[in-house]
Amino acid sequence: MKNPVQWLRSFVFIVQMYLAMLVLGIVFAPWAMASPKGARVACKSFARWALWTARWMVGIRTEVRGLVPSGEVIIAAKHQSFLDIIIIFNAVPSARFIMKRELMWTPVIGVYAKRLGCVPVDRGKRGAAIAKMVKDVAKETKEPGQLVIYSQGTRVAPGARKPYKIGTAVLYEGLKQPCIPAATNVGVFWPRTGIYRKPGLAVVEFLEPMQPGIARGDFMEQLEARVENRSDDLMREAGFEPEQAAVQA
């Protein structure tokens, strides 16, 4: 039985977080429309606000481990909830995301995503979507930054298993940039759906870079093994047993 007081705190936290997103989106709009720098400052401000309020309102502390990427790299991250997006964006200097096309039409998020140079993907078209994604990424490489892609293509609940999609390897081959795998346990505390937020230490960990030149099959195999194994370790550290959850599912 979930704690009703924690549930109420979670509800209030979510309401104020999205209200803050709206307010900051409006306040920074003139600067964001004039310059991508304004959009980035606005989003960084929101990320810091969300992390700060998560700590004292619902008891979620956050930690970034590993060497934070700062150059032109691909970050191939485990995606469990909105929280890992916030942590990564706050941690790295110039993140832009591969994101599903529908989000580009949402209020505030869509407008700022376009200004940041995020790349929309139509997940329903597979091969055509991958080809267009590579073309769109090439178009948006005017300024150095960190391109974040979620290799499973969607949020994945702790303990669930979903295949890694080939799009990450295609970008890795085409851009010829190092790929930084990123593991996380955030879904243990901030689930992909629902209101309840559980107190604890949510971690995103940047792993050792994968340098350009690894063959596609080997790259995908190594990427999945490294991200999944380390994410499982982080979830166990948080008191969650991923194998048991997978069996129950």
- Rounded CA separation 51/83 (Å): 9
6 CB-near residues (< 8 Å, 6+ apart): 58, 59, 196, 197, 198, 199
DSSP characters over 118-135: -EEE-GGGTHHHHHHHHH
Ranges of each domain in the chain: 60-248
pLDDT tens column, 229-239? 999 999 999 99
pTM of the complete model: 0.92
Residues 244 and 197: their CA atoms lie apart, in Å, by 21
d(CA 106, CA 125): 21
- List Cβ neighbours of 113 (8 Å cut-off, separation of 6 or more): 97, 99, 103, 104
Question: How far is the C-alpha of 96 from the C-alpha of 89, rounded, in Å?
Answer: 8
Helix (H) or strand (E) holding 65: strand 60-65
User: Amino acid identity, residue 194?
Assistant: G
For the domain made up of 60-248, the CATH class stated in words is alpha beta
From first to last of its 249 residues, the chain has per-residue pLDDT tens of 579 999 999 999 999 999 999 999 999 999 999 999 999 999 999 999 999 999 999 999 999 999 999 989 999 999 999 999 999 999 999 999 998 877 777 778 888 988 888 888 876 555 555 666 666 666 655 566 899 999 998 999 999 999 999 989 999 998 899 999 999 999 999 999 999 999 999 999 999 999 999 999 999 999 999 999 999 999 999 999 987 766 555
Note the pLDDT tens digit of each residue in 167-185.
899 999 988 999 999 999 9
